[in-house]
Amino acid sequence: MRSLVNKISLSALFFITAITITLIISAGSAEAAKREALLQGQILTEKCLSAGRLSACYIEWTSKSPVVLFTGDRKLYRIELHRLAQWKLDNAFGKQVVLKGIIKGNKIMANDIAVLGGKKKLSKACL
């Protein structure tokens, strides 16, 4: 009987310990997910990207297609404005940038942006 109680107690302890470790790890991950990251890439729309228009992306498409950051390693992040002003994002359209924000899955909650060299020109038809 005592042996059975011991076994149950030990099993409960292992169970609780496992849950605790999982909680601690997930709490740490959640905290890390709230931290800002820096990403480098080009500001485009999903429509431009799917049409392969990396160097001539129509600016009016921005109102119809989500604005994205396309990084050098071919990852795509939908941009949502968090603390970043709309005009700053507009100025960076089509250009290579460093974007600062919080990554949530395939989205980045944008806080700031810096335009790098090698400006991509927008089509004249759009301006």
Count of C-beta atoms within a 10 Å radius of residue 9: 10
- Binding residue for another protein, selected from 59, 103, 115, 126, defined by CB under 8 A: 115
- Binding residue for another protein, selected from 83, 104, 119, 121, defined by CB under 8 A: 83
CB neighbour list of residue 48: distance below 8 Å, 6 or more residues apart: 54, 57, 58, 61, 65
Contact 41, 70 (CB under 8 A): yes
Please, which residue, 63 or 117, has the CB nearer to another protein? 117
The DSSP secondary structure of 1-38, one letter per residue, reads: -HHHHHHHHHHHHHHHHHHHHHHHHHHHHHHHHTS-EE
33 binds another protein per the rule CB under 8 A: no
What is the nearest approach in angstroms of another protein to the Cβ of residue 13?
6
Taking the C-alpha atoms of residue 22 and residue 15, their distance in angstroms, rounded to an integer, is 11
Please, which residue, 98 or 126, has the CB nearer to another protein? 98
What is the nearest approach in angstroms of another protein to the Cβ of residue 122?
16
Which stretches of the chain bind another protein, using CB under 8 A?
Answer: 2, 5-6, 9-10, 12-13, 16-17, 20, 23-24, 27-28, 31, 34-36, 38, 40-42, 52, 54, 70-72, 74, 83, 96, 98, 100, 102, 111-118
